[in-house]
Amino acid sequence: MLSYLADLEGLWGPLRLFRYISFRAMGGSATALVVGMALAPWIIARLKALKAAQVLRTAEEVGKLADLHNKKKDTPTMGGLIVFSSVTISTLLWARLNIFVLTALVVYAGLTLIGFLDDYLIIKRKSSKGLSGRMKLMGQAVLTVIALVLLLNSPDSSGFVRQLWLPFYKEPIIHVMPLPLMLVFLYFVLSGSSNAINLTDGVDGLAIGCTVTVAMAYALMAYAAGNAIYADYLLVPFMPGAGELTIVLSILCGACLAFLWFNAHPAMVFMGDTGSLALGGLVGIVAFMILQPITLVLIGGVFVMEAMSVILQVGSFKLRKKRIFLLSPIHHHFELKGWAETQVVIRFWILSLVFAVIGLATLKLR
């Protein structure tokens, strides 16, 4: 909305700043931070009044971890509403609503709704069982179809999204993906990224902090994709309009920092599936739209570690009746090994930053 002020630069010269993505990205990030900080106390108070407390797993389910996390039992969940409100309001203010921004917001809103329903059922049933896994996957499948319909029916995106790129390659390995392959591929990107961040959300500040570094890395990639000069220099496809995703991701960073203020140990609020599923989906759809979905494996290395630890743990127990880790996801393994919760979080943040830098390096190493 504010970007259209640039059309009035003839009345007042400085209004031309609203034409620049860099200026709007900074303005949007600051707005999201302020909106998040302003809304959070009210939302947290409402969640407490509604007794929307996190339902923790019992000692029979997680053993000693139940004692370590016992103090968290009255902490409200659904804090993802703070991030969602901040991102949505700020994006509508600062970004131009093109096909890329619209698709990102639709996927983000859809996954927020799925996560909200899951959290609601957990709270209502007073059990760690919420929306069934099958229902979540079905919801993600529907959003996959909606996203593809939007992207393939817009002339601004239809010529790009059917390409498949790999890190370190100067050309796409597939120039025109068949529609069935696109459906399957995007579904795995969306469901994989959303579920991976969901698994990471187990200790105060961990998932939201790692999301900041991933969002920052993809903001830079989106800026390069939307800028003809940088795209040519880095040998990535130039996608007019994709630069607006830089604003969305910068806004996401500001919103995450606002939430982290209240989610830092000891957390005043948890984001729940309302936040974690949606954040993963938002990052995933952006990665897909700027043709960098495989790079998400590198940039989101911490999330991959968390997901793989669960897969390996389950596989090992089914095949060998033995566990690899004391408990999965892997951050709980280190908690049970004696790491303080803050140590786990900060060390994983460091790893997340390293992975983000490695992922960005793939832009140049081609």
What is the average per-residue pLDDT within 272-290?
A: 95
- pLDDT digit string, tens, across residues 286-311: 999 999 999 999 999 999 999 999 99
- pLDDT, position 126: 73
**Is the predicted pLDDT of residue 75 greater than 60, yes or no?**
yes
Percentage of the residues of the chain whose pLDDT score is greater than 70: 95
Confidence of residue 67 (pLDDT cuts 50, 70, 90): low
Residue 335: is its pLDDT beyond 80?
A: yes
Inform me whether the pLDDT recorded for 74 exceeds 90. no
**What pLDDT sits at residue 95?**
94
Cα–Cα distance between 168 and 166 in angstroms, integer?
6
pLDDT for the residue numbered 271: 92
pLDDT reported for residue 220: 96
> How many whole angstroms separate alpha carbon 70 and alpha carbon 79?
19
For 140-156, how does the pLDDT look when each residue is reduced to its tens digit (9 = 90+)? Answer: 999 999 999 999 999 99
User: Of 316, 226, 259, which is closest to residue 44 (Cα–Cα)?
Assistant: 259
The residues, ordered by sequence, that sit 6+ positions from 288 with a Cβ below 8 Å of its Cβ are: 147, 161, 186, 189, 190
pLDDT at 59 over 60: no
- pLDDT on residue 356: 96
pLDDT at position 64, please? 67
Q: Rounded to the nearest 5°, which phi and psi values hold at 76?
A: -70, 150
Report pTM.
0.94
- Please report the pLDDT score of residue 57 as a whole number: 63
pLDDT tens-digit readout, 165-176: 998 888 899 999
Question: What is the average pLDDT across 83-110?
Answer: 96
Q: Maximum CA pair distance of the chain?
A: 73
The enclosing H or E element of 282 equals helix 272-289
Q: Which of 4-13, 265-274, 349-358 has the highest mean pLDDT?
A: 349-358
Q: C-alpha angle 335/281/332, rounded to 5°?
A: 5
Structure confidence at residue 186 as a pLDDT band (50, 70, 90): very high
Q: Measure the CA–CA gap between 364 and 49, rounded to whole angstroms.
A: 51
At residue 164, φ and ψ (nearest 5 deg) are -120, 115
Structure confidence at residue 359 (pLDDT): 94
Neighbours of 358 (CB within 10 A): 16
Q: Lowest mean pLDDT: which of 80-94, 199-213, 262-276, 314-328? A: 314-328
Q: What CA–CA distance (Å, rounded) separates 317 from 133? A: 20
DSSP-based three-state secondary structure for 53: strand
**Which residues are CB-contacts of 132 (< 8 A; sequence separation ≥ 6)?**
none
Going by C-alpha positions, the residue among 216, 249, 221, 193 that lies closest to residue 361 is: 221
Confidence of residue 130 (pLDDT cuts 50, 70, 90): confident
pLDDT reported for residue 298: 95
Round the average pLDDT of the chain to a whole number and report it. Answer: 90
Highest-pLDDT range among 236-240, 285-289, 316-320, 326-330? 285-289
Q: What is the pLDDT of residue 52?
A: 79
What pLDDT does residue 187 have? 96
